[in-house]
């Protein structure tokens, strides 16, 4: 009445599932450590008057805001995955997360601890829910990748323009669009990590892929957090 399972196929599926779960564990652990390091640097910089005084200079603030974008292209360019070891990528990831901590220092300085905590938990809940959904869904999200990346470039352009316009309405639209775009990118990146994992690639290759995956999810989380925090607003310190 029932077909007997093929032992070879069943065994491969079990190994694949165990390997995939371990792969995602490495991704999320690395991402979490990056977030912790970012938070520590952000609070340290926000508590240092000399650093916050420098942020009062517009050129310095703009340069720091775009520093992660520049570092991302320099430290994680197209040849990085092929030429660098997993250890090198991990060091680069933590340097990158430390720089992002410096970028977040003004937000930590301006917003109260309660507002920061509320925005963080909303972000964490959104991120976890979307990531879990994209891991289990049968919907192919790859077709949305190019559209979402176009949205990111549009956001960057709009943010640069609004530096000069200082429009509160435009800032609201940018934040709302940012939440939607980075929520979509979280789903897209999670599914891409699942689809590109290969148990036969070897430990070193998969370790490098896990770090690059953690970097992608880390950026999505940080950007989502910033837009949610600005949308929620609240009392500032």
State pLDDT tens for residues 15-26.
457 889 999 999
Q: Is the pLDDT of residue 186 over 70?
A: yes
**Looking at residue 4, what is its pLDDT?**
37
Taking only the tens place, the pLDDT of each residue in 28-43 is 999 999 999 999 999 9
**Looking at residue 6, what is its pLDDT?**
44
Domain coordinates in residue numbering, the chain: 7-232
Mean pLDDT of the chain: 89
**Looking at residue 77, what is its pLDDT?**
85
**Looking at residue 82, what is its pLDDT?**
81
Q: Is the pLDDT of residue 13 over 70?
A: no
Taking only the tens place, the pLDDT of each residue in 43-76 is 999 999 999 999 999 889 989 988 998 999 999 9
Please tell me the pTM assigned to this model.
Answer: 0.89
Q: Is the pLDDT of residue 130 over 90?
A: yes
**Looking at residue 200, what is its pLDDT?**
72
Work out the average pLDDT over 151-162: 93
Q: Percent of the chain, pLDDT > 90?
A: 75
Q: Is the pLDDT of residue 27 over 70?
A: yes
More confident position, 21 or 201: 21
86-89-90-91 Cα dihedral, nearest 10 degrees: 130
| Among candidate residues 115, 109, 112, the one with its CA nearest the CA of residue 49 | 109
**Looking at residue 234, what is its pLDDT?**
62
Q: Is 141 helix (H, G, I), strand (E, B) or coil?
A: coil
Work out the average pLDDT over 189-199: 90
Residue found under tokens 């976890």: 128
**Looking at residue 16, what is its pLDDT?**
55
State the Cα angle at 98 between 230 and 237, rounded to 5°.
Answer: 35
**Looking at residue 235, what is its pLDDT?**
52
Phi-psi category of residue 166: left, alpha or beta, with phi > 0 → left and psi -120 to 50 → alpha: left
Q: Which residues lie closer than 8 Å to 119 by C-beta, 6 or more apart?
A: 111, 225, 228, 229, 232
Residue found under tokens 């340097």: 95
Highest mean pLDDT among 6-10, 132-136, 200-204: 132-136
Task: Convert 120-147 to b/e letters by CB count within 10 Å (16 or more is b).
Answer: bebbeebbeebbeebeeeeeebeebeee
What is the rounded distance in angstroms from the CA atom of residue 49 to the CA atom of residue 237?
Answer: 14
- Number of Cβ within a 10 Å radius of residue 6: 10
What is the rounded distance in angstroms from the CA atom of residue 94 to the CA atom of residue 67?
Answer: 15
């Amino acid at each position: 009445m029932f077909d007997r399972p093929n032992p070879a196929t069943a065994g491969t599926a079990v190994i694949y599932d165990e390997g995939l779960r371990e792969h995602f564990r490495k991704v999320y652990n690395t991402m979490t450590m990056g977030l912790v390091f970012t938070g520590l640097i952000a609070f340290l910089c926000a508590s240092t008057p000399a650093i916050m005084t420098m942020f009062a200079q517009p050129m310095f603030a703009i340069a720091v805001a775009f520093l992660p974008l520049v570092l991302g292209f320099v430290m994680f360019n197209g040849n990085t995955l092929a030429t660098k070891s997993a250890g090198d990528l991990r060091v680069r990831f933590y340097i990158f997360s430390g720089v992002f901590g410096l970028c977040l220092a003004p937000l930590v300085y301006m917003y109260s601890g309660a507002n920061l905590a509320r925005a963080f938990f909303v972000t964490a809940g959104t991120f976890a829910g979307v990531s879990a959904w994209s891991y289990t869904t049968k919907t192919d999200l790859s077709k949305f990748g190019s559209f979402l990346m176009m949205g990111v470039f549009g956001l960057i352009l709009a943010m640069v323009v609004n530096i000069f316009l200082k429009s509160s309405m435009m800032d609201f639209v940018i934040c709302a669009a940012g939440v939607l775009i980075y929520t979509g990118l979280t789903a897209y990146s999670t599914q891409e990590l699942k689809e590109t994992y290969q148990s036969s690639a070897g430990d070193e290759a998969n370790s490098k892929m896990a770090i690059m995956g953690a970097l992608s999810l880390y950026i999505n989380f940080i950007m989502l957090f910033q837009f949610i925090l600005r949308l929620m607003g609240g009392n500032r310190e």
